[in-house]
Structure 1
Amino acid sequence: MTEKLVDTANPPALQTGQLVLQADPVAQARLRADRRRALLRTIGTSLVNALITFAVVLILWQCIVSFSGISPFIAKGPVDVWNYLFTDEDAAANRAAMAPLVAQTLVDSSIGFVFGMITAIVLAVLFSLSKAVEAGVMPLVLLLRTIPLVSIAPVIILITGRGTVASVAVIGTIVVLFPALASILFGLTRASQQSIDVVHVFGGGRFTSLRKVNFPGAGPSLFAAARVSVPGAVTGALLAEWLSTGQGIGGSILKFNAQAQFTQLWTSIALITLITLLLYNIVQIVENIVLVRMGMQPGRR
């Protein structure tokens, strides 16, 4: 009986509509055109929002440098960073010096992002399947969230080893885990109870309803978790580099500050901020594309 489960993602009414569309080339072409226009509109909106964000960040940065009264020897603005990377005589050497630092931080951020998202998805599924697991594990997750990471970092490094990939993964996962878990778990609990009841009526269990109902409906929340996790993963990577590996942007910031290399310091901060904003907006563009193709309205969480 379980083999005759109703496809809750495509109910009979929707399947009938799809058959009508397949029999009507004009309606099918109109549907494709509407989806293409919606897709271009969402991509254009995302790009405009990204440009506005970059402009606001640059304006705020310049205002802080210009009107905060900080010495120009210490405070460097966008023009100083631009000159350091592109117009100074040593610009090529400066870019060559910054490239491996940025690359290392991106690698460390990717490790934290991947492990954090996988852990969040697995825990969200387990919490949805078993309230006992949620009652036992959620306090530990909340504990990791409330305790300052700097205070438990020595224990993490002692267990995983200083400068190891494991230390980067654990620290990045702790930073990413809670907001991603909260978003994904919220999405899984928003499924239609009527659709879940249909699965149960046709013999499907909790795991089947999770696969056929909860997960398809949690798409927007999953992308929201990914967007929130991007800056979290970068923050976790910087912390791991500062506390454990001593590499990348996080490990170099202290060196630049101690050696009074303030241009390099501000350039590092500017580059990692720019990359974080870029990655955030890339995830948002991918989210809008996927949601439009799935027939969902972007921006509705």
Structure 2
Amino acid sequence: MTVSATSPGGLTERRLSWRSLGSLPPWVSGLIGTVLIIAAWWLVSAIFFGPEGAVPSPINVVQELFSDFGSQIYWKAVAATGGAALIGYLWGTLIGLLMAVIVLLLPWTEGVVTQLAVVCSCIPLTAIGPIVTLMTPAGSRGTSIFLAGISVIFTTVVGAILGFRAASQTQLDVISAYGGGRFKQLTKVRLIAALPAILAALKIGAPAAFLGAVLGEYFLSGVDSGVGIQLLAAQADNASVRLWALAITCGAIAGLAYLVIGLLGRLVAPWASGDADAQGVL
């Protein structure tokens, strides 16, 4: 006991052990964190709530998930929400990129454009959702698409503007020396320089778009399919296990969207990933 507390060798070994934990691969650290979270969840459920209380046990939630996987209603809901999220994501990304291009070509518009982007980020979705619902016909998924799109605009605008401004001044001067203007600089230099920042913004925007689409379904009328609709039904029935299963589904789909966009980004711009392999290829 005294050796571990006072011996320099003992202290050195303890420091090395903590350093070794910090040097673990990211996936190992993520796995350890996941196991700890599940263990804490299990303890809270068992001690304070019971297996099917407000915080059900992980086993019950996993069983509910496996049961849902065999249900057509479940997959139809996921497909409906995912489709609305994808449409909103594409529209939001396109609008954000156009706003960033406008700032680049017309610098005097930067104040107005950035303020609009900030408004899109700060406006409460729960406040604007009912207004959009009143403006769209019954049975339409316009609210989900709108909230998904508006959730993406701010990150896309900021990421694209920062990326465009990361272009090499020397390369821009070369374009200008050969008679090229701002648009030629954009197509020949700035777009390539901006890819890393734009891809990072797109990764962040993908989960936000899906969660915005789910929130939009809370305000829909005349629609009977969607993850948000399923959440409302489970809440009305006080089905805590199903609520948790659907919540995990939302988190899993949002994480999968982040991962897929990241993998696509590595294919489109391998130099933007920061991997040693990609840098070695270049």
TM-score clears 0.5: yes
The 1:57–1:120 alpha-carbon spacing in structure 2 relative to 1, beyond 3 Å, is farther
Give the TM-score normalised by structure 2.
0.78
Counterparts of 2:265 and 2:241, CA distance in 1: 36
Counterparts of 1:204 and 1:154, CA distance in 2: 48
The 1:103–1:57 alpha-carbon spacing in structure 2 relative to 1, beyond 3 Å, is farther
How does 1:97-136 map onto structure 2 within 5 Å? Answer: 97-136=73-112
Tell me, yes or no, if the aligned pair for 1:176 and 1:236 is still in contact at 8 Å.
no
Counterparts of 2:205 and 2:275, CA distance in 1: 18
Tell me, yes or no, if the aligned pair for 1:291 and 1:298 is still in contact at 8 Å.
no
How does 1:127-166 map onto structure 2 within 5 Å? Answer: 127-166=103-142
TM-superposed deviation, 1:241: 0.9
**Deviation sequence 1:70-122 (CA, Å, 0-9, x none):** 34322234322322243xxxx37853332212122211211121111111111
Query: Number of paired residues?
Result: 247
Does residue 237 of structure 1 match 2:213?
yes
How does 1:1-301 map onto structure 2 within 5 Å? Answer: 49=26, 53=30, 56-57=33-34, 59-67=36-44, 69-73=48-52, 74-86=54-66, 91=67, 95-244=71-220, 247-292=225-270, 295-296=271-272, 298=274
Please provide the CA RMSD for this pair: 2.5
Counterparts of 1:224 and 1:128, CA distance in 2: 19
SS in 1 for 2:179: coil
SS in 2 for 1:218: helix
**Deviation sequence 1:192-238 (CA, Å, 0-9, x none):** 11111110110001000011010011111111011101110111111
Which stretches in structure 2 are left out of the alignment for 5+ residues? Answer: 1-24, 277-282
The 1:115–1:56 alpha-carbon spacing in structure 2 relative to 1, beyond 3 Å, is farther
Tell me, yes or no, if the aligned pair for 1:105 and 1:237 is still in contact at 8 Å.
yes
**Which portions of structure 1, spanning 4 or more consecutive aligned residues, are displaced by more than 6 angstroms?**
none
The 1:64–1:255 alpha-carbon spacing in structure 2 relative to 1, beyond 3 Å, is same
TM-superposed deviation, 1:163: 4.2
The 1:299–1:59 alpha-carbon spacing in structure 2 relative to 1, beyond 3 Å, is same
Counterparts of 2:68 and 2:117, CA distance in 1: 45
**Deviation sequence 1:139-193 (CA, Å, 0-9, x none):** 2332232221111222222223454233222211111111121111111111111
Counterparts of 1:273 and 1:148, CA distance in 2: 21
- What letter matches 2:241 in structure 1? T
Tell me, yes or no, if the aligned pair for 1:116 and 1:176 is still in contact at 8 Å.
yes
Counterparts of 1:237 and 1:140, CA distance in 2: 21
- What letter matches 2:237 in structure 1? Q
TM-superposed deviation, 1:265: 1.4
Question: With CA pairs under 8 Å and 6+ residues apart, which has the higher RCO, 1 or 2?
Answer: 1
Tell me, yes or no, if the aligned pair for 2:210 and 2:254 is still in contact at 8 Å.
yes
